[in-house]
Amino acid sequence: MQIIGFRSPEEGDWASLRSLQYRDLHRGSLIRTAAHGIAAIILVGILLGKVPPLFLGGWMLSVFVAIFAATKIERALANIDQRRMTKAEYHRQAWTMTVLAAIWGVPILAFMPYGSLTDHLSVWAVMVMLIAGMSVLLAQVPVATIIFTSLCGISASASFVLAGQYDFAALTVIFCVMMIVGVLESSKVFLTARIAEMGVAEKEEVVSLLLREFEENEADWLWQVDPQRCVKAASPRFAFALGSEPSQVEGKRLIELIAGPNWQSGKSPPSLHELADRLKRRESFANLVVEVDLGDEHRWWELSGTPIFDERGNFAGFRGVGSDVTEQRESSEKIAYLARYDTLTGLPNRLMLTEALNEALRYAEQWRTRCSLLMIDLDRFKAVNDSLGHHVGDKLLAQVSKRLNAAMTDNEQVGRLGGDEFAVVIRDAERPGYIGEVAERIIHSLSAPYTVDDHTLYIGASVGSAVGPRDGVNVETLMRNADLALYRAKDEGGGEHCRFQPALHTDAQERLRLEASLRKAIENDELELHYQPVVSAMTEGVVSFEALLRWNSKEHGNVSPAKFIPLAEDTRLIVPIGDWVLRTACREATMWPEEIRVAVNVSGEQIIEPDFTKTIVRALSETGLPANRLEIEVTESIFLRDDRLARQVMEEILALGCSIALDDFGTGYSSLGYLRTMRFSTIKVDRSFVQGAAQQSPESLAIINAVVAMAQSLEISTTAEGVEDEVQAQLVRELGCTKIQGYYFGRPMPASEARTLVVRSRNSAVA
């Protein structure tokens, strides 16, 4: 029913299906007109003289009128593929064919009484010829053929029944049924073929559209080469990518175009050789990245190609697509660079060093040799960074990296781990003394002065080394052991090279245990303050005590302050410990005479702690000690970390009424600028200068004289530290120091002994 047109199709629509059937109908109109005309003439010839001429003439006129009407309707459907066919047009064509069939049924049914049986069969033969011809010429329009065959068959079979020829009537019915079935099958095949053609056409149109869009893309193009690998049918976009016109590209070898100037020299990149091999072997390839040299420009292309063959199976060349991936390639290379190199110094980063060390360990294991890792830390870099700013520090690191790079050989690879830490991987360290030579070379190179933004800077380097696989069979172990060696080099004062020793593990573990114990020291009541007297240089009477922290650990015994104070600063335990020291010292000072002060050392870690001044206020208010009896001792290093914050905190302390003493003056990065702006009460001369002066060292004597003269001009008192005998006491007194501190006048003592000394000193003064 769908093919005939009596029902709409399940997929698509009725009008589209009819358009496929009727769009070529008009092309057979002339043949069908001629067939009907010839058949009508033959039939008139058979019946002429047997049927009245008037009847024959009227019938023949009716045939030609009906054929003319049918032809006109068919020609009106010539443009049916450009529009939708209507039901009215479908019905009009069907009714025209019905009228034509009815006219052809008249002779065999109405004119038979005038003729014999032979004439009857002759007329039927003409109609059979016409039915067969219509079935062929109108196979794509089954409704017209079915109507014509059915009406003609009904007329013929009826005439045979009336004539008593029942066998001919049966044969007529069978013939017509067979013709109708054949027409339906032919129409089905025809319609299926047309639908398939339409699908192919639609696909071709879609492909053409996609290709046009693909060609219009700025980064993509189509390419094709012939069996000789010469460019064929060059697209405008492909030619544009080569910087040429299509006519200039046609017929040239693809490899030659891509290779550019390298074609003559033969120095083509490996990617180009791979492309040439693929083309030569006629292999398909996809996403092949090729290096392209266009003379004045270097590009990267991503090519995909497939071999093509003609209808006989002969190789016809290659066809494919390409795109310019230069930007993506550069981005990928940049990402890969950033992942493996340090952006500030350009040296390999931790990842790349880890890979190099892993490869060195593998090489050492394979060839039974040794490799090494050197960990490098810059000495005094933090002071430069804090005092001059990070921008100067970054420039200094850049210069350091250049020196390190220059000091390396092919057997060594240097990289930056982060901050001011660097590392060197030595691939083959088998030769005795080789590791020490590299370390000394590094220390010597990095210790030379630097010039950064008109600043002359002096730093140094400490080096720790570990040997693989002796000191570690994997990267993690070797790096940890080299770091332990570096830590020991830093502990020894810097500027040194220390090799890893198994005992360093013990030291590290001891440090961890020491830290764990220190965290519980206050809670376990293991901390104690000792007090060392400071006397007047003229009267030798006690004017103050310096509170000195002592730790008697239940697990470790008496631990030296030189050991646990740096540990407390590194772990920031110095903050709660310093708070305890302040409160304890102030509480003890309330038991002394009012004229005696207490001096408390304050770490740089405490100074940068938010609200440190409030800690002092809380200690004073809880103990009731007047602020003028508390002296805060600081070192010059506090100004190197954060000069602005340190000055602000110092001003706040002075505003409370406390005094400030500058300890270890001259041993660090001395700057006379803060002496002019800060109101220090005391400058403490380090014991190293006192000992040197006692040995008549000109340098020490000159330094003490300069400090005393400067302090007197600024109305600041001076305290000489480390005085151990009468000779040294007399010397510093003659040099002009106003106060003296040292073992000669008293060692650090418990609080009870300090109170006894105060009473004894007062009684001596009264006597």
More confident call, 508 vs 301: 301
What digits encode the pLDDT tens for the residues 524-542?
Answer: 889 999 999 999 999 889 9
* C-alpha to C-alpha distances, 598 to 340, 624, 759, nearest whole angstrom: 55, 14, 16
For residue 450 the two structure tokens come to 């630097």
Give the pLDDT confidence score for residue 7 in this predicted structure. Answer: 59
pLDDT, mean of residues 595-616: 90
Within 10 Å of residue 431's Cβ, how many Cβ atoms?
Answer: 11
**Residue 16 confidence (pLDDT):** 63
pLDDT of residue 279 exceeding 80, the answer is: yes
Instruction: Indicate if the pLDDT at residue 629 is higher than 90.
Output: yes
Identify the band that residue 497 occupies on the pLDDT scale cut at 50, 70 and 90. Answer: very high
3-state class of 425 per DSSP?
strand
**pLDDT > 90 fraction of the chain, expressed in percent and rounded:** 34
Mean pLDDT in residue range 397-417: 94
Residue closest to 80 by CA, chosen among 24, 139, 12, 30: 24
Quick: pLDDT tens for 10-34. Answer: 555 566 666 666 666 667 677 778 8
Whole-Å CA distances, 95 to 70, 323, 726: 9, 61, 145
CA atoms within 13 A on the CB side of 77: 27
Report the pLDDT value the prediction gives residue 178, as an integer from 0 to 100: 86
Q: Are strands 315-324 and 220-225 parallel, antiparallel or unpaired?
A: antiparallel
Looking at beta carbons, which pairs linking 643-648 to residues 24 or more positions away fall under 8 Å?
643/386, 643/387, 643/674, 645/607, 645/608, 646/604, 646/607, 646/608, 647/674, 647/677, 647/678
Predicted pLDDT at 209:
47
Whether the per-residue pLDDT at 766 is higher than 60: the answer is no
Is omega for the bond preceding 593 within 30 degrees of 0, making it cis?
no
298-309 β-sheet, strand order: 220-225, 315-324, 298-309, 285-293
* Average pLDDT of the residues in 561-585: 90
Of residues 12 and 128, more confidently modeled: 128
Q: For the segment 322-380, what is each residue's pLDDT rounded down to a tens digit?
A: 888 888 877 776 777 777 899 899 999 999 999 999 999 999 999 999 999 999 999 98
- CATH of 517-766, picked from 3.40.50.150, 3.40.50.620, 3.20.20.450, 3.40.225.10, is 3.20.20.450
Residue 215 pLDDT exceeds 70: no
pLDDT digits (tens, 9 = 90+) for 590-604: 999 999 999 999 988
Report the predicted TM-score, pTM, of the whole model to 2 decimal places.
Answer: 0.50
Contacts of 699 (CB under 8 A, 6+ apart): 692
Distance of CA 550 to the CA centre of its chain: 53
Residue 201 has pLDDT above 60, yes or no: no
In terms of C-beta distances under 8 Å and separation of at least 24 residues, what long-range contacts does 108-115 make, across chains too? 108/155, 108/156, 108/159, 109/155, 109/156, 109/158, 109/159, 110/55, 111/47, 111/50, 111/51, 111/55, 112/159, 112/162, 112/163, 114/47, 114/50, 114/51, 114/52, 115/46, 115/47, 115/50, 115/51
Domain covering 341-501, topology = Alpha-Beta Plaits (3.30.70)
**pLDDT at position 72:** 82
Higher pLDDT among residues 140 and 717, named by residue: 717
What is the pLDDT averaged over residues 190-211? 60
Using CB atoms within 10 A of its CB, is residue 623 exposed (0-12), middle (13-18) or buried (19+)? middle
Q: Which of 183-187, 282-286, 382-386 has the lowest mean pLDDT?
A: 183-187
Give the separation between CA 593 and CA 763, rounded to whole angstroms.
Answer: 12
Please give the angle made by the CA atoms of 695, 697 and 703, to the nearest 5 degrees. Answer: 125
User: Residue 487, Cα to own-chain centre: how many angstroms?
Assistant: 35
Choices 1.10.540.10, 1.20.210.10, 3.20.20.120, 3.30.450.20: CATH for 217-331: 3.30.450.20
Measured distance CA(246)–CA(269) in Å, rounded? 25
| Phi-psi domain of 37 (left: phi exceeds 0; alpha: psi -120 through 50; beta: other) | alpha
| pLDDT at site 570 | 82
What are the φ and ψ backbone dihedral angles of 305, each rounded to 5 degrees?
-150, 155
What per-residue confidence (pLDDT) applies to 533?
A: 95
Q: Is pLDDT of 666 > 90? A: no
> Cα dihedral angle (393, 399, 400, 406), rounded to 10 degrees?
170
Tell me how crowded residue 184 is: count the other CB atoms within 10 A of its CB. Answer: 16
Tell me the C-alpha distance between 248 and 123, whole Å.
74
Inter-residue contact 211 to 202 (CB < 8 Å): no
- Lowest mean pLDDT: which of 17-21, 279-283, 290-294, 578-582? 17-21
219 has pLDDT over 60: no
Beta strands in 618-713 (DSSP E): 630-635, 659-665, 682-685
Q: Which residues contact 447 (CB under 8 A, 6 or more apart)?
A: 458, 459, 460, 461, 495
Choice among 413-427, 480-494, 728-742 with the minimum mean pLDDT: 480-494
Average pLDDT of the chain is 84
Nearest-angstrom CA–CA distance, 289 and 237: 18
- Of the ranges 240-249, 268-277, 532-541, 671-680, which one carries the lowest mean pLDDT score? 671-680
Cβ atoms of residues 618 and 585 within 8 Å: no
Q: Which residues pair with 551 in a beta bridge?
A: 527, 559
